[in-house]
C-alpha cells in the first residue's frame, strides 16, 4: 500500500483522499484552510457529496486518513504527493496556474530536505505542456533535483462527476496517466490495477490533452443536444424524444468511427443535410450556432490541407483517392475532389490513383461520380498503378487508403514529400518529408 499526500482539500482532493484511504492506503490531506483540515480530522466532509461523510469518518477512524496544514511534514512522511488544487480561469480565459504553482513550491521545498525518492503527481486540470513548462521547472528550481531522476513526476487526470464521484472513482469510464519515471508509473498502476477499465499510459502532454478533450467534448454534446432541441421545438417536435432515439443507435451515431481526427467530411448526405437543417433553423427563427461552426470548420480542414501542399512547393502532386471515401466511386461533395480542383486551379499538375473511380471510368459506367464533376479532365489524370503515381510525383497526398497502396506509400514517405489526410501508419507522426494533417 502507498503513502500519499494530497494537496488541496477541494472536491477532487477530498474524494480522492477518502477513496484511497478506503482502499487501504495511508493518506495525508494538505490544505491552507484550517477549517477544512479540522473537518477532515473530525471525520467530517467539507463538501456535500453522496456517501462521502461515511467514507471520511471510516478513513479517519481507521487511522489511514488525516489532514494537516504542514506541507513539509506531509511530503516527508509520504511516497507521493497528488496536486488537486483548483485552476480557475485567468482574466483572459487561459488556465490559472497560481494554486498549482504554490502547491509545487511547497512540495519542492520539502523535497530539498528529503533523502528518499518522492513522486509528484498533478491531478489538477491544466492545458497540455503545463506540467513540463511550469510545474517541473518550479520543482527543479526549488528542490535542486532533476525531474525523473531525483524525484518522480506524473500527470493523472480525474474524471469524477459531482453527485456520483465515489461511484465514478470505482467504476471509471477512462483511466489515463503520464509519467516521467518508472517508480511514478508503478504507483499509478498499482492504484488503478483492480479497477474495471483499461489503463492508458502515455506521455504527460497527451494525458493533459485527454482531460481537456473529455471536458470539451461533453460541452459540445450538451450544446448539440440543445441546438437540436431548439430546432425541433420550432418545428413543433419534442427534442428530447429525437435525441433519445438518436442515442439508441450504437452502431453509427454513437460509433467511434467518426471520432478519428483527419480530413473533412463529404459525400451525398452529410454536407447537404447540415446545410438543410441549418437553413430550416434560420427559417424558423433559430440561430444554429453549432451547425454554422460545423460547416465553417469543415471548409477550414480542406483549406488546411491545401496550405500544407502549397507549402511543400511541389508542382507535380499525386493524390491517392478522389472519391469521398474508400470503396466507392462516389465523388459527390468529396473534399478530396474539392482539394484537387483547387490545386489544379493554382496551376499544379495533379494525378490521381483511385481504383474504384478508375474502374468506373474505364468501364464507362453511366453513374460515374454520381454526376459531381469538380475535377477538370479527370479521366486523363487517372493513374492505374500506385507505383506509377509515386514515380511521377514530387509530393503525394494520401486521401483514401487502399490495401495495395500501403506498403509502397510507406516506402515512398521516407524520401518523397507526403501529406497524409487519413493515417498511413497509426504509430507515425509528422517528421521529415512526412506530414499528417492532425498528427
Maximum Cα–Cα distance for the chain, whole Å?
83
Annotated binding-site residue? 31? yes
Length of the chain: 439
Q: Is the pLDDT of residue 266 over 70?
A: yes
Q: Categorize the per-residue pLDDT at 258 as very low, low, confident or very high, splitting at 50, 70 and 90.
A: confident
Residues of the chain within CATH 3.40.50.720 domain(s) are 3-202, 297-436
Whole-angstrom Cα distance, residue 346 to residue 412? Answer: 25
Q: Is the pLDDT of residue 343 over 70?
A: yes
Annotated binding-site residue? 262? yes
Whole-angstrom Cα distance, residue 139 to residue 128? Answer: 18
Annotated binding-site residue? 159? yes
pLDDT of residue 254: 76
pLDDT of residue 255: 81
Residues 19-76 pLDDT 10s: 999 999 999 999 999 999 999 999 999 999 999 999 999 999 999 999 999 999 999 9
Annotated binding-site residue? 10? no
Residues 176-235 pLDDT 10s: 999 999 999 999 999 999 999 999 999 999 999 999 999 999 999 999 999 999 999 999
pLDDT of residue 338: 97
Residues 403-429 pLDDT 10s: 999 999 999 999 999 999 999 999 999
Residues 288-324 pLDDT 10s: 999 999 999 999 999 999 999 999 999 999 999 999 9
Mean pLDDT over residues 371-396, rounded?
92
Measured in whole angstroms, the distance separating CA 141 from the mean position of its chain's CA atoms is 31
pLDDT of residue 371: 55
Annotated binding-site residue? 261? yes
pLDDT of residue 246: 94
Q: Is the pLDDT of residue 370 over 70?
A: no
Residues 134-174 pLDDT 10s: 999 999 999 999 999 999 999 999 999 999 999 999 999 99
Q: Is the pLDDT of residue 279 over 60?
A: yes
Q: Which CATH architecture has domain 297-436?
A: 3-Layer(aba) Sandwich (3.40)
Dihedral angle computed from the Cα positions of residues 228, 259, 307 and 396, in that order, rounded to the nearest 10 degrees: -140
pLDDT of residue 149: 97
Mean pLDDT over residues 282-290, rounded?
96
Annotated binding-site residue? 162? yes
- Given a contact cutoff of 8 angstroms between Cβ atoms, the answer to whether 212 and 128 are in contact is yes
Annotated binding-site residue? 283? no
Superfamily grouping for domain 3-202: NAD(P)-binding Rossmann-like Domain (3.40.50.720)
Q: Which residue has the cell 477541494?
A: 10
Q: Which of 104, 197, 247, 269 is catalytic?
A: 269
Annotated binding-site residue? 141? no
Q: Categorize the per-residue pLDDT at 369 as very low, low, confident or very high, splitting at 50, 70 and 90.
A: low
pTM of the predicted model as reported, rounded to 2 decimal places: 0.89
Is residue 19 among the annotated active site residues?
no
Annotated binding-site residue? 152? no
Nine cell digits for residue 207: 494525458
Annotated binding-site residue? 36? yes
Whole-angstrom Cα distance, residue 17 to residue 121? Answer: 14
pLDDT greater at residue 393 or residue 364: 393
pLDDT of residue 366: 66
Annotated binding-site residue? 362? no
Amino acid at each position: 500500500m502507498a503513502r500519499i499526500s494530497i494537496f488541496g482539500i477541494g472536491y477532487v482532493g477530498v474524494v480522492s483522499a477518502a477513496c484511497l484511504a478506503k482502499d487501504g492506503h495511508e493518506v495525508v490531506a494538505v490544505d491552507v484552510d484550517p477549517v477544512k483540515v479540522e473537518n477532515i480530522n473530525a471525520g467530517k466532509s467539507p463538501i456535500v457529496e453522496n456517501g462521502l461523510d461515511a467514507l471520511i469518518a471510516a478513513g479517519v477512524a481507521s487511522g489511514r486518513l488525516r489532514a494537516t496544514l504542514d506541507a513539509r511534514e506531509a511530503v516527508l512522511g509520504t511516497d507521493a504527493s497528488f496536486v488537486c488544487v483548483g485552476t480557475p480561469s485567468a482574466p483572459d480565459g487561459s488556465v490559472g496556474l497560481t494554486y498549482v504553482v504554490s502547491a509545487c513550491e511547497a512540495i519542492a521545498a520539502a523535497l530539498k530536505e528529503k533523502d528518499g525518492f518522492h513522486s509528484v503527481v498533478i491531478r489538477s486540470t491544466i492545458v497540455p505542456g503545463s506540467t513540463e513548462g511550469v510545474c517541473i521547472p518550479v520543482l527543479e528550481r526549488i528542490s535542486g533535483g532533476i525531474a525523473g531522476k531525483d524525484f518522480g513526476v506524473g500527470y493523472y487526470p480525474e474524471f469524477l462527476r459531482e453527485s456520483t464521484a465515489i461511484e465514478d472513482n470505482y467504476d471509471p469510464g477512462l483511466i489515463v496517466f503520464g509519467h516521467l519515471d518508472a517508480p511514478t508509473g508503478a504507483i499509478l498502476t498499482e492504484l488503478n490495477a483492480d479497477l474495471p477499465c483499461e489503463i492508458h499510459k502515455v506521455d504527460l502532454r497527451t494525458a493533459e490533452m485527454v482531460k481537456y478533450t473529455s471536458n470539451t467534448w461533453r460541452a459540445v454534446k450538451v450544446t448539440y443536444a440543445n441546438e437540436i432541441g431548439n430546432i425541433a421545438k420550432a418545428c413543433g417536435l419534442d427534442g428530447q424524444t429525437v435525441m433519445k432515439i438518436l442515442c439508441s443507435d450504437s452502431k453509427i451515431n454513437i460509433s467511434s468511427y467518426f471520432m478519428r481526427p483527419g480530413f473533412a467530411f463529404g459525400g451525398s448526405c452529410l454536407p447537404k443535410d447540415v446545410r438543410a437543417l441549418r437553413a430550416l433553423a434560420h427559417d424558423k427563427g433559430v440561430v444554429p450556432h453549432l451547425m454554422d461552426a460545423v460547416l465553417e470548420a469543415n471548409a477550414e480542414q480542406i483549406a488546411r490541407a491545401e496550405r500544407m501542399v502549397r507549402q511543400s512547393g511541389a508542382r507535380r502532386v499525386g493524390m491517392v483517392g478522389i472519391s469521398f471515401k474508400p470503396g466507392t466511386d462516389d465523388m459527390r461533395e468529396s473534399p478530396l475532389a474539392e482539394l484537387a480542383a483547387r490545386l489544379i486551379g493554382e496551376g499544379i499538375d495533379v494525378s490521381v490513383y483511385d481504383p474504384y473511380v478508375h474502374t468506373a471510368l474505364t468501364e464507362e459506367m453511366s453513374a460515374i461520380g454520381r454526376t459531381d464533376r469538380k475535377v477538370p479532365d479527370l479521366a486523363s489524370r487517372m493513374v492505374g498503378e500506385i507505383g506509377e503515381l509515386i514515380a511521377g510525383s514530387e509530393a503525394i497526398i494520401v486521401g483514401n487508403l487502399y490495401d495495395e497502396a500501403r506498403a509502397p506509400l510507406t516506402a515512398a514517405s521516407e524520401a518523397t514529400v507526403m501529406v497524409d489526410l487519413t493515417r498511413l501508419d497509426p504509430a507515425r507522426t509528422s517528421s521529415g518529408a512526412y506530414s499528417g494533417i492532425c498528427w
